[in-house]
Amino acid sequence: MSLPVSEIIGWEMAEAGQPLRRVRRDVPALSADEVLVRVAGCGVCHTDLGFLQGGVRTRHALPLILGHEISGHVEDAGRAHARLVGRAVVVPAVLPCGECALCRAGRPTICRAQIMPGNDRDGGFATRVVLPGRFLCPVPGAGEDADALLSSVPGLTLRHLAVVADAVSTAFQAVEHSGLTSGGLAVVVGLGGVGTFAAQVAADRGAAVVGLDVDPRRRQAATAAGVRLALDPRALPSKELRARIAEFARSEADAEAAWTIFECSGTAAGQQTAWGLLGYGATLVVVGYTREAPPLRLSNLMAFDARALGNWGCAPDLYPAILERVLSQRIDVVSYTELRPLDEIAAVLEEVQSHRAERRVVLVPDRRKEAA
Amino acid sequence: MSLPVSEIIGWEMAEAGQPLRRVRRDVPALSADEVLVRVAGCGVCHTDLGFLQGGVRTRHALPLILGHEISGHVEDAGRAHARLVGRAVVVPAVLPCGECALCRAGRPTICRAQIMPGNDRDGGFATRVVLPGRFLCPVPGAGEDADALLSSVPGLTLRHLAVVADAVSTAFQAVEHSGLTSGGLAVVVGLGGVGTFAAQVAADRGAAVVGLDVDPRRRQAATAAGVRLALDPRALPSKELRARIAEFARSEADAEAAWTIFECSGTAAGQQTAWGLLGYGATLVVVGYTREAPPLRLSNLMAFDARALGNWGCAPDLYPAILERVLSQRIDVVSYTELRPLDEIAAVLEEVQSHRAERRVVLVPDRRKEAA
């Protein structure tokens, strides 16, 4: 099944604040544990912008090809993963070692030997990427054509599934770990990419979902993602915001269930809004990232017997269940994804940074121009 | 067994910022679910100071007799608790209803119908107190004399066990919920009453315990409470503090275990110190209370896959295990407790507020003067 393969063409970050540059690299010899993935799509994440702007440092020294939200086909594999060759896969954004004490203790996302493409080694803004094969998630029913329609979901291809690698799976694990139950109340703060998927996952679980965003277009669009009450947190004083949500909860959710809040905005304002919603027994899941440190009354956790959980990535063993939900139309990725040529990466990064991108952008290599 | 009983003499808070006043009340008729407890001792807590200074409001309207850390003897009981009469008991500081959905779901400390003495109704700074009998915890082996020595623990009487009602049990639940394991690293921030008990409970569980406090006397005294490394957080830059603790952890604890941090200082500075110690997979338990809102980089929870848990009170079902540890000398309360006459309450509150009290003060009614 292994195809003749000679090179990788990708977009490399050489220095913070500088444009990416197009590079060619030879495909290295694969170790027994590695695979070579031909990229079908690689999503653009705010984490990439964090690296590019220099606020967050990549764990691997620069230069580095970024991109950690990858779907593709396994073109070649080391001994341990020979049976993956030819398979369509989603690459978990965090690839744990699977062997250490943390992995064995069920904490794979904090495995200290974890590999995150585009952070610990070259990533997916490229035609091909070399990675550990251990936790790649095969896509059931996918053939060799990355543009073929998958399952019975209108418009869904392997390329769209790139967003499962990080945005959808991060949201999924956040909901999973929160303990949100059917009939519970979920509040999603920030209805961008990850927030919209968090809303979908929460609604799919049977929760009554409230969404908060300052952008009226996002609030309007969120209805399709299962948000049943969309509010502008800037337009309401904190107390009134709570009251509006409490009123919704009384009529639409289990009266007894504690609130579950998902902070997905990755902004100080969003974090303060989320913190202000803490009540008895509440769970706040911190999904978004910002380097800011807003003032927070930490003691409210104590006074309310509440908790705040950080969520980093997604454990590989959750991916099959996530894919199953996407392939059975329980989670819609097509409407929230935009495919763009990899060659347009500079323009796309601009759009994402200036919040002009309304959907999660997946960069797609042009096979005619770039394949070896 | 029921003794002739006519009145309650207690110290009532009428208004924030004003001295307490000594009052007499008639003992009301007990409902089927209530008991009358003759107070052996009632501990003084910083929560009482919060009420007195007006920063925190009591849930019951003033005037109110404060005090929620109570041990004593059941003198009389309604129908449902007749077999408690004559028993020595510790009164959990939070008495849930035991019937609601939250109680049934194992969340008794956030039961909305919970009764906290000295907050929801008259409390223990008194000769007697009337309370729901449901969750009182009988003291094995205790007789009718509140001054008799208990078990084989030198100096331990029923009066000292008042501190089990809140300080010890709050620390115990905090450790229990944190998931701290034998061989794990525990960092206790603030070595006051609750912090010292948290250190003891953590050490009893087999953890390697680090204690942080700005007060050199407290740091020195903490050794006896199982603290094996005591540091002054003000004397070390945040990075160096982490490094010192990490060095200790490498030699004294499981290298793989994530840190468990107990914020017991109830100060903004302590909370910032505790937050600065968050690392991969860490758990921060917020035990102390302050109304301040220090700047905190909430996203560190996400970046480190860490969590912050609030701890409010202690579930009644944990009390027998706590008492067992105290009665078997695994947790020392005698060295950390000072018995003082209830009549000295004004002076004692002064001492606690000005941090002159080096041990947890338990107020003891003078039976000769005050009993009916």
CA nearest to A257 within chain B: B102
**Contact: B299, A308; criterion CB under 8 Å:** no
What's the pLDDT score for residue B4? 46
Give me the pLDDT at residue B368, please: 63
Q: Is the pLDDT of residue B104 over 70?
A: yes
- Euclidean distance between CA atoms A210 and A311, whole angstroms: 20
**In this complex, do A295 and B293 lie within 8 Å of one another by their Cβ atoms?**
yes
> Is pLDDT at B256 greater than 80 in this prediction?
no
Mean predicted confidence (pLDDT) in B284-308: 96
pLDDT at A255: 76
Residue B313 and residue B290 in contact, taking contact as beta carbons nearer than 8 Å? no
Chain B residues lying within 8 Å of A298, measured CB to CB: 263, 271, 275, 286, 293-294, 296, 308
Cis peptide before B365 (omega within 30 of 0): no
A292–B287 CB contact, under 8 Å: no
Q: How far B293 CA sits from the closest chain A CA (Å)?
A: 4
Say yes or no for a CB contact (<8 Å) between A287 and B302: yes
Q: Binning pLDDT at 50, 70 and 90, where does residue B5 land? A: low
Mean of the pLDDT values across residues B219-227? 95
Tell me the nearest-neighbour CA distance from A111 into chain B, angstroms.
9
Chain B residue at shortest CA distance from A109 = B305
Among the partner residues A299, A306, A313, nearest to B291 by beta-carbon distance: A299
Residue A82 has a pLDDT of: 97
Two tokens at B199?
Answer: 């250190």
Average pLDDT of chain B is 94
DSSP labels, A30-54: PPTTEEEEEEEEEE--HHHHHHHTT
Residue of chain B whose alpha carbon sits nearest to that of A292: B297
**Measured between CA atoms, how close is A270 to chain B, in angstroms?**
11
Residue A256 is nearest to which of B102, B294, B298, comparing CB atoms? B102
Structure tokens, A81: 């993963």
Of A287, A299, A306, the CB nearest to B290: A299
> What is the per-residue pLDDT for A56?
87
Chain B nearest C-alpha distance from A16 (Å): 20
Q: Which of A256, A293, A303 sits opposite B295 (nearest CB)?
A: A293
Residues A85-140: tens digit of each pLDDT: 999 999 999 999 999 988 998 999 999 999 999 999 999 999 999 999 999 999 99
Record: contact B310-A302, CB cut-off 8 A: yes
Which residues 111-170 of chain B have a CB within 8 Å of chain A? 112
Q: From CA B39, how far away is CA B89, in angstroms rounded?
A: 10
Mean pLDDT by 10 residues, chain A (372 residues): 70 95 96 98 94 90 97 97 97 96 91 96 98 97 94 93 98 97 96 95 98 96 96 96 96 89 97 97 96 97 96 96 96 96 97 89 81 46
Residue B112 with chain A: CB contacts under 8 Å: 280
Test B298 with A263 for CB contact under 8 angstroms: yes
Q: Report the residue from B110, B302, B313 with minimal CB separation from A280.
A: B110
B102 at the A interface (CB within 8 A)? yes
Q: How far apart are CA B276 and CA B112, in angstroms?
A: 33
CB contact under 8 A, B299 and A306: no
* Res B1 pLDDT > 60: no
- Quick one: pLDDT at residue A5? 60
User: With 90 as the cut, is the pLDDT of residue B367 above it?
Assistant: no
- The stretches of chain A forming alpha helices (DSSP H) are 46-52, 101-104, 167-178, 193-204, 216-221, 238-252, 268-276, 300-303, 319-327, 345-353, 367-370
Query: Rounded to an integer, what distance in angstroms lies between the CA atom of residue B190 and that of residue B271?
Result: 10
Check residue B3 and give its pLDDT: 44
CA quadruple A291, A296, A301, A303: dihedral, nearest 10? 180
Contact call for B307 and A309, based on CB within 8 A: yes
pLDDT score at A2: 43
Cβ <8 Å between B107 and A309? no
For B175-210, the pLDDT digits (tens) are 999 999 999 999 999 999 899 999 999 999 999 999
Set of chain B residues whose Cβ sits within 8 Å of the Cβ of A288: 299, 302
Q: Which H or E element spans position A229? A: strand A227-231
Instruction: Name which of B109, B111, B298, B300 to mutate to probe chain A: the one with the most chain A Cβ atoms within 10 A of its Cβ.
Output: B298
Radius of gyration (Cα) for chain A, nearest Å? 20
User: Which residues of B fall within a CB distance of 8 Å from A258?
Assistant: 107, 110
Q: How confident is the model at residue B55 (pLDDT cuts 50, 70, 90)?
A: confident
Give the predicted TM-score (pTM) of the model.
0.93
Q: Angle, nearest 10°, between helix axes A193-204 and A167-178?
A: 50
Nearest-CB residue to B293 (from A263, A296, A305): A296
Q: How far is CA A334 from the centre of its chain?
A: 15
pLDDT in tens, B259-279: 999 999 999 999 999 999 999
For residue B182, the one-letter residue type is S
- Whether chain A has a CB inside 8 Å of the CB on B106: the answer is no
Q: Does A263 touch chain B (CB under 8 A)?
A: yes
Question: What's the confidence (pLDDT) of residue B254?
Answer: 87
Q: CB–CB of B302 and A311 under 8 A?
A: yes
Judge: A310–B300 Cβ closer than 8 Å, yes or no: yes
**Nearest residue of A to residue B103, measured between CA atoms:** A256
SS3 B209: strand
**B290 and chain A in contact, CB less than 8 A:** yes
CB contact under 8 A, A312 and B294: no
**CA–CA dist B23, B28 (Å, integer):** 15
